[in-house]
Amino acid sequence: MEPAERVSSLVQRKIRILFITSLLANRGGAEKNFCEVLLGLDRGKFDPSALVFQGGEQSDHLRRQGIPAQVNGIIRLLSLHALKKGWEAIRRMKAERTDIVVTYHHDADIWGSIVARLAGVPRVISSRRDMGYQLESKHVWFYRLFPFLFDGFITVSEAVKGEIQRRDWIRPEKIRVIHNGIQPGIYDQGFNVFEIKKRLGIDPSKTVIGSVASFRPIKGQLCLVEAVKELVDQHKDLLVVFVGHDDNEYGRLVKQRIEETGLADHFMFLGERSDIPEILSVFDVFVLSSVHEGFSNAVVEAMAAGKPVVAPNSGGNPEAVEHGKTGFLYTPCDSRSLAEMLGQLIGNKLLYIAMGYEGKMKVKHCFRRADMILANEAYYTSLLHGSTTAHD
């Protein structure tokens, strides 16, 4: 079949797109984006499915929503099991005439790109969600030596784009930046803040600083503890509310430090929550304490809820938070810098309102989930329609 006929044939049917990820067992930012893109694709144009190394709650959710989500149980790439599952995936892709494979996370990038190429899949895309803090030298050299395995890269921010250009030697023309998007209306529902505080046991006279993140060293909650230590003498009504999985070594370390500093009365741990929009409504200020983020969903959600954001000046944060307008940016890992930025906000209700409003407007104009989905669809289509090897 001639190339023009192949494209014409492709236009007449749905684009078969397979998403591959190494982990879909929790609610992290990459996992959330993976599911939202899959579920948001126009089913009149795309026929999506998922292949997951380690499944869980999120893969079950995809199945309930009608997305075929297969779990292959790969733990180590260099194993007979991985080879066996690779051969099965090759046969599946050929049988289903997969048009596009999109991979998330480095192990899925390696295994998925090789398998897809052996299966003759026309287009392979890597979706890069962070600054690469988990990458080992072997992963970096894979990207450097085998960039031809990928037709394109999606990055969650300009910062991630710049990082993979520098570190992985990826040409800029192969990279498309697509910021995360949310549904703003979910976070702006006029919640009864007084009732929510009462239910959570929060004294309404407290100034509430909120943080939503799982407890890991990269998330930097210890930095926030040290910043609060510097603030409590002048701001005795401070209460920091932590939301996120804290039953781990780092969570225990943070709690131990709080006890050591005598700050227990200034902290509350809510653990993992499914009612984030309601929880955000009780915050006066939202803090992101991470060392760096590719692009933080939590920051955008807080902005949509009308909260001023204090975040480190690193990664994709400056692409969301406008310093002095929607919040403040501080020096990463510097508790004094964080304390200084918080000090400019605490107790300043007019500034809360002004920054919160600006943040809410920015989300509505720049970070909507519908626009994110459309941008992904457009990129997939543009790459595929440039192919001369698409399945007929």
Instruction: Give average pLDDT by consecutive 10-residue segment, the chain, 392 residues.
Output: 48 89 80 93 97 88 93 95 97 98 97 98 97 94 97 98 97 97 93 96 96 95 97 95 96 97 97 95 97 94 98 97 98 97 92 96 97 98 72 43
Residue 104, Cβ neighbours under 10 Å: how many? 26
Residue 277, Cβ neighbours under 10 Å: how many? 17
Pair type for strands 100-104 and 123-128: parallel
Q: Based on the fold, state whether residues 203 and 218 are members of the same structural domain.
A: yes
Q: Are 47 and 16 in contact (CB under 8 A)?
A: yes
| Within-domain flag for 166 | yes
Q: Are 158 and 316 in contact (CB under 8 A)?
A: yes
Q: Based on the fold, state whether residues 190 and 137 are members of the same structural domain.
A: no
Provide the domain limits for residue 255.
184-366
| β partners of residue 43 | none
Q: Based on the fold, state whether residues 140 and 232 are members of the same structural domain.
A: no
| Within-domain flag for 124 | yes
Q: Based on the fold, state whether residues 295 and 280 are members of the same structural domain.
A: yes
Q: CB neighbours of 138 closer than 8 A, spacing ≥ 6?
A: none
Q: Based on the fold, state whether residues 336 and 223 are members of the same structural domain.
A: yes
Q: What is the pLDDT of residue 386?
A: 79
Residue 59, Cβ neighbours under 10 Å: how many? 24
Cα dist. 159→27, 348, 369, 379 in Å? 23, 31, 20, 19
User: Can you give the CATH number for the domain in which 170 is found?
Assistant: 3.40.50.2000
Q: What is the pLDDT of residue 10?
A: 52
Total number of domains in the chain: 2
Q: Based on the fold, state whether residues 198 and 159 are members of the same structural domain.
A: no
Q: Based on the fold, state whether residues 30 and 135 are members of the same structural domain.
A: yes
| Within-domain flag for 391 | no
What are the backbone dihedrals phi and psi of residue 212, each rounded to the nearest 5 degrees, phi first? -120, 110
Q: What is the pLDDT of residue 29?
A: 81
| Within-domain flag for 198 | yes
Q: Based on the fold, state whether residues 282 and 147 are members of the same structural domain.
A: no
Q: What is the pLDDT of residue 232?
A: 95
- As a whole number of angstroms, the distance between CA 392 and CA 22 comes to 30
- Please tell me the pTM assigned to this model: 0.92
Q: Based on the fold, state whether residues 62 and 135 are members of the same structural domain.
A: yes
| Within-domain flag for 375 | yes
Q: What spatial distance separates the first Cα and last Cα of the chain, rounded to whole Å?
A: 8
| Within-domain flag for 392 | no
Q: Based on the fold, state whether residues 110 and 121 are members of the same structural domain.
A: yes
